[in-house]
Amino acid sequence: MSKLQQAIDNLHEADREAGKRSGKSRIHPVSRLLVCVAYIGIVVSFPKYDVTGLLGMSLFIIITGILEDLSFIKGFQRMKYILAFVVLLGAVNPFLDKRIVMQTGGVTVTGGMLSMMTLFIKGVLTVYAAYFMFMCTGIEQLCRALRCLKVPKGAVTVVLLIYRYIIVLLKEIQRMSLAYRLRAPGQKGIHIKVWGSFAGLLLLRSMERAQNVYDSMLLRGYDGEFQYEILGQEKTGKGLGAVYAAGWIGIFLLLRCVPVFQMAGNIFLSIGQ
C-alpha cells in the first residue's frame, strides 16, 4: 500500500472510530472540549524543570485511555509526525542551557536536559490529550460543542470543511499521481517541469470536489447548526458532563498547585527512616 493510501485509510479509520465512540458516549462534547482545553493550558503552564509534576499530569491521559478503551499505540502511529516534531522542538535545549542543576554520582544533569525532558513530556501529553478528545467526540460533535460555546456558524463551518477538504485533497493527489505514473512509466516521482501545472490543477480539481461536498451538505439541510443530539447525552448530559468537567479540572488544579507526588515520596521516605 502506498504512503498516501495509508494516510487516507488512517484518517477514515480514525473518523469512523471517533464516530462510533461518540455515539455511545454519555458525556456532552462541550465538557470534553473544556476539560481538554483546561488540561492543555495547565500542562503548558508547568515550570520548565518540574518533571515530577508533569508526570502526575499524565494520570489524566492514562485514565482516559483505559476508561474509553483507546489504544496508546494506535495513537502513537497516527500522531507520529506531530510527536516527532515536538521532540525536535525540545532537542536544542541542552545546547542552550548548560547550567548544572543536579549532580548524582558521576552523572551531571544540566538545566537544558531537564527542560528538554519537560518540553518533550508537555508535547506528548498535549498531543495525546487532543487526540483522545477527538477520538471521543468526532468532528461533528466537536463542531456542535463549538456551536454550544457560541463560536460563530461561519467559523465552525470552516473547521468542518477544512477537515473534509484534507481527505478530498489527499484523494485527488492520489488520483492525479496515479494518472501521471501510468503515463510516465519508469519515472521516479513527478518531473519538476510539471509541478506547477500539477499543483494548479490539483487545487482546481480538489476545490471543485470540495464544492460538491459542501453542496451535498446544503442540499440535505445543513445550515451551520448541528442537530446531533445523542439521546443518552441529552438526558444525563448536563449533570454528568458538569461533574466530569468539574472533577477533572479540580484534579488538574490540585496537581498544578500542590506537588502531590513529591509529598507522597517524602512521606514514604519519612516512614522508612
Assign residue 189 a region (left: φ > 0; alpha: ψ between -120 and 50; beta: otherwise): left
Minimum CB distance to another protein, residue 13 (Å): 8
Residue 216 sits in the site that holds another protein (CB under 8 A): yes
Residue 217 sits in the site that holds another protein (CB under 8 A): yes
Candidate ranges 7-15, 95-103, 117-125, 250-258; the one touching another protein (CB under 8 A): 7-15
Query: Of 45, 182, 220, 269, which one interacts with another protein (CB under 8 A)?
Result: 220
Residue 223 sits in the site that holds another protein (CB under 8 A): yes
Q: Which is nearer to another protein, 15 or 70 (CB)?
A: 15
Q: What letter does residue 217 receive in the DSSP assignment? A: H
H helical segments located in 149-194: 153-183
Minimum CB distance to another protein, residue 87 (Å): 31
Minimum CB distance to another protein, residue 170 (Å): 11
DSSP assignments along 65-119, one per residue: HHHTT--HHHHHHHHHHHHHHHHHHHTTHHHH---EEEEETTEEEEHHHHHHHHH
Residue 1 sits in the site that holds another protein (CB under 8 A): no
- In DSSP terms, 103 is beta-bridged to 108
Q: Residue 209: which of 157, 160, 168 has the closest Cα?
A: 168
Residue 179 sits in the site that holds another protein (CB under 8 A): no
Site for another protein in 190-209 (CB under 8 A): 209
Q: Which is nearer to another protein, 12 or 98 (CB)?
A: 12
- C-alpha dist (Å) from residue 198 to 37, 77, 97, 209, 268: 39, 30, 46, 16, 65
Q: How many other CB atoms are found less than 10 A from the CB of residue 84?
A: 10
Q: Give the span between the Cα atoms of 164 and 168, in whole angstroms.
A: 7
Residue 24 sits in the site that holds another protein (CB under 8 A): no
Residue 3 sits in the site that holds another protein (CB under 8 A): no
Binding letters toward another protein, positions 139-168, x by CB under 8 A: -------------------------x---x
Positions that interact with another protein (CB under 8 A): 8-9, 12-13, 15-16, 19, 164, 168, 209, 212-213, 215-223, 225, 227-229, 231
